[in-house]
Amino acid sequence: NAGVMQNPRHLVRRRGQEARLRCSPVKGHSHVYWYRQLPEEGLKFMVYLQKENIIDESGMPKERFSAEFPKEGPSILRIQQVVRGDSAAYFCASSPTTLGTGETGELFFGEGSRLTVL
């Protein structure tokens, strides 16, 4: 299966702990997006990364949240000192390239990582 792989699917943390969510994009895709979805709500953009670069992190909270997409390995979304309000589903999506090269802009989504903060 060459789709977007996210792990863990479910993660439980206590307040103050750290959460690390991993995303392996579709093979050959160099663009990764992270979204957060609260229960019964839509998707909220968090961050857009290319290999070794953060392109847009305008949706990321200023504190405790960070993301990376190293040259080798998966993209990581890291949440430090988690609070109950961080409980949500975190979705990763990938795309092969940006607009202007014939790509229509479809995103390929993983199945999400569901974080529960106790």
Partner 1 sequence: GDSVTQMEGPVTLSEEAFLTINCTYTATGYPSLFWYVQYPGEGLQLLLKATKADDKGSNKGFEATYRKETTSFHLEKGSVQVSDSAVYFCALRGSNYQLIWGAGTKLIIKP
User: Token digits for 31?
Assistant: 């663009």
Whether the Cβ atoms of residue 64 and residue 13 lie closer than 8 Å to each other:
no
**Can you read off the two tokens belonging to residue 9?**
């699917």
* Position 25 contacts partner 1 (CB under 8 A): no
| CA–CA distance, 104 with 42 (Å, rounded to integer) | 22
Q: Which stretch binds partner 1 (CB under 8 A): 12-20, 21-29, 43-51, 76-84?
A: 43-51
| 3-class SS of residue 116 | strand
Residues touching partner 1: how many (CB under 8 A)? 23
10 bridge partner residues: 114
Q: How far is the CB of 16 from partner 1 (least distance, A)?
A: 28
Q: Give yes or no for residue 107 binding partner 1 (CB under 8 A).
A: yes
Say if CB 26 and CB 1 are below 8 A apart. no
Beta carbon of residue 50, minimum distance to partner 1 (angstroms, whole number): 10
**Other Cβ atoms closer than 10 A to 49:** 26
Between 78 and 108, whose beta carbon lies closer to partner 1?
Answer: 108
29 binds partner 1 (CB under 8 A): no
Site for partner 1 in 54-73 (CB under 8 A): 55-56
Give the footprint of partner 1 on this chain (CB under 8 A): 4, 6, 31, 41-43, 45, 48, 55-56, 91, 93, 98-99, 104-112
